[in-house]
Amino acid sequence: MTENYILSVSQLNFYIKSIIDADRKLFDLYVSGEISNFTRHFKTGHLYFTLKDESSSLKAVMFSRAAERLRFMPENGMKVTVRGRVSVFERDGTYQLYAETIEAQSEGELAASLEKLKQKLQKEGLFDESRKRPIPRFPKKVGVITSASSAAIHDILTVLARRWPLSEVVFCPASVEGIKAVDEITAAIKEFNSKKAADVLIVGRGGGSVEELWTFNDERIARAVAASEIPIISAVGHESDYTLIDFAADLRAPTPSAAAELAVPERAELLHRIRLLEQRLSASADELINSKTYNLTLLYNRLLSKEPTAMIESRLQTIDSLRQRLNKAGDSLISEKQHLLSRNISMLDALSPLKILGRGYAIAVSAEEETKGRIIKTVTAVKIGDKIDVNLTDGVLKCNILETKEL
């Protein structure tokens, strides 16, 4: 054999790669098999695994750009269908499958994998009721971990503002599906705990398919939730959706809106309870005063029926003592009622719209006959020529609409 026909290893590998790459049948195909040797590269985010069946195996790789679109994290033993292309890795002289998508062959595969992991964590005690922490009744800070673009965050913020505006909301946006979601949610839970940034945490997302919710079945998230020192309310999907985070959380809510309702008390309900307590306190004070007055009257009448001076003086001392105790008890009750009344007035004053007007804001209402008194929230609610009243902290401006301009 002449020297002209001798190829280097690199040349041969390149030649074989060019032949395989030229075959259009290998450019886009589907391959089914069972995953083994699964590895996710920590720095690059690439996924490396082997597809196998009863008699053969095939090396495969999924680069991070494609892995980011996955709705669930693959794992060993899972039967899947992979779409991709076949090519040669020139350095090692091996051919492999370059995956673009990975789909579970059936929901049964996902369910079996989930049940196996659930049993494992349950045996470790992660779901035990004894380790679940109570949700604080009056949280000063409510933490929320979900997608910034989801309807869930809007629902949660709306409910929190309506029920208990005294709580501060600390929002940490995170992906809720895809391969990055697990790392982002886990990191957010750990950061909330390290900074003690909330008294209670809401973690979740809106509804979706089994694959879209699969992020919340990841072992790392379940362990992060179980290890959290801050009580966590899970809020994933709809009422019928259950994920591992629901079992690891301290409290499970059927929806994100329900999670917000469970996280804070109802302001109107508390004000109603305060009024009832005030009424009970007033009735108790009146009953006590009437009882003591009746006893005092009995003592006084008994004194009148006794002439000896010593007995009269003794009874007078008793009367003075009882009067002092009565006055002290009455003053104490009145002081307590005044304190409760002052606190209620302060709470109501903090929520008063007059406070908002005092800071320079104004409320515009319609002065037209057919819509008189209606609050104007948008420029589309009026037209040129309409009459409106602008309420300020010290009076009202009578105005006509000359021009409207939308932002």
The pLDDT tens digits of the residues spanning 42-63 come to: 788 899 999 998 888 899 999 9
Place of tokens 């979706």: 208
d(CA 403, CA 382): 10
pLDDT single digits (tens) 73-122: 788 888 889 999 999 998 888 899 999 998 877 666 677 778 888 899 99
In this structure, are residues 157 and 132 in contact, taking their beta carbons and an 8 Å threshold? no
Q: Could you tell me which residue, 238 or 307, shows the higher pLDDT?
A: 238
Residues 6+ apart with CB under 8 A from 177: 71, 205, 208, 212, 213, 214, 215
Q: What are phi and psi of 237, to 5 degrees?
A: 75, -145
d(CA 235, CA 257): 8
Q: How confident is the model at residue 274 (pLDDT cuts 50, 70, 90)?
A: confident
- pLDDT of 187 reads 95
% of the chain surpassing 90 pLDDT:
35
Q: Could you tell me which residue, 271 or 288, shows the higher pLDDT?
A: 288
In this structure, are residues 366 and 373 in contact, taking their beta carbons and an 8 Å threshold? yes
Adjacent-strand bridge partners of 34: 52, 79
Between 24-33, 272-281, 307-316, the lowest mean confidence (pLDDT) is in 307-316
H-only helix segments in 196-266: 219-227, 244-248, 256-263
